[in-house]
Structure 1
Amino acid sequence: MKRFLILGFIMGMCYFTLEGFWRGWTNIVMLFVGGLCGALIGLLDEYPQYFNLKIWQQTLISWLVILVIEYSSGMLLNVWLGMGIWDYSAMPLNLNGQICLIYAILWVPLIPFGIWLDNWLRWKLFDEEKPYHLLSIYHDLLTLK
């Protein structure tokens, strides 16, 4: 659990920073939303006896996890609590203004980096197995290996 929290915080900070640069601002709750997504994505290859997934499978599952978390947190934070952190209502193919196809597609090239970053952090912080090279992960994704 301690590793999950540490990795979630670091991944959350990465997301928080990325979103700040992309949108020009962000909200502190995105640290937790992004951290939860990052930490869950990182778990997909941590138990090979249960999850021996190829990178394209990890990317697809991660993409679905992110969309469910983004939609759920959007409904809670933006709709029910009225925080107004994001609103995709004006975007085409949106679902209740909380997720939209254009931004959903943008997650696909970011996910392999998140998978690699989780593995790299585990290697550096917890002396786990050295990760594959980042370019080999993208190569495997593009060739569906």
Structure 2
Amino acid sequence: MLKYLTLFLIGGITYYFIEIAYRGYSHFSMVIVGGLCFVLIGSINEFSNKEIPLLLQMLISVLLVDIVELISGIIINRILLLNVWDYSQLKYNFLGQISLNSSIAWFFLSLFAIYMDDLLRYVIFKEKKPRYKFL
């Protein structure tokens, strides 16, 4: 449990600062959303006996992030009316909460998240050394 709390906080705080660097601001809810996404992305290869290719992990990550972003966006932006983000002006958005642009960005950001999660698990929690195959 401590492992997942640690990963959640590191992922959430890191995402919070990525948003500040990119957009110039963030919202505390992004620590929660980012932390949840980080733990989910890191868990992809934890539930399989086989090595999941990096490219497939990245694709699964996009789906997970889109689901989390859609659900949290509906709660944060539409129900609580906090208006933390709004993609409604972008082409190919859904309910203004997810968009093709953000999905593409998450595809590439997920590579960083996968490496970071594996490194933290190896260094801090003494898990097996990560190995990768792209395809």
What is the TM-score normalised by the length of structure 1?
A: 0.87
Quick one: higher RCO (CA 8 Å, sep 6+), 1 or 2? 2
Structure 1 stretches of at least 4 aligned residues deviating more than 4 Å after TM superposition = none
Match of 2:84 in 1: 85
* Greater CA drift, 40-49 or 8-17: 40-49
- Give the letter for the 1:20 counterpart: I
Shift of 1:130: 2.4
Aligned letter for 1:65?
A: L
Q: Distance in 1 between matches of 2:109 and 2:16?
A: 14
Map 1:1-145 onto structure 2 (within 5 A).
1-49=1-49, 52-132=51-131, 140=134, 145=135
- CA apart distance, 1:85: 0.2
1:121 positional shift:
0.4
CA distance in 2, matches of 1:129, 1:9: 22
- Read off the aligned partner of 2:43 and give its amino acid letter: L
DSSP-derived class of the 1:126 partner: coil
Q: Deviations over 1:3-43 (max 9, x none)?
A: 11110110111111101111100001100100000001101
Tell me the distance in 2 between the aligned counterparts of 1:102 and 1:46.
Answer: 28
Structure 1 unmatched ranges of 5 or more: none
Q: Classify the secondary structure of the residue corresponding to 2:46.
A: coil
Deviation at 1:48, TM superposition (A): 3.3
TM-score by length of 2: 0.93
Q: CA deviation at 1:127?
A: 1.2
Q: Could you list the runs of 5+ residues in structure 2 that have no partner in the other structure?
A: none
- Cα distance in 2 for partners of 1:98, 1:44 equals 24
Fraction of identical pairs, as percent = 37
In 2, Cα distance between the equivalents of 1:85 and 1:25?
A: 10
Q: What code does the residue aligned with 1:121 have?
A: L
How many residues align? The count is: 135
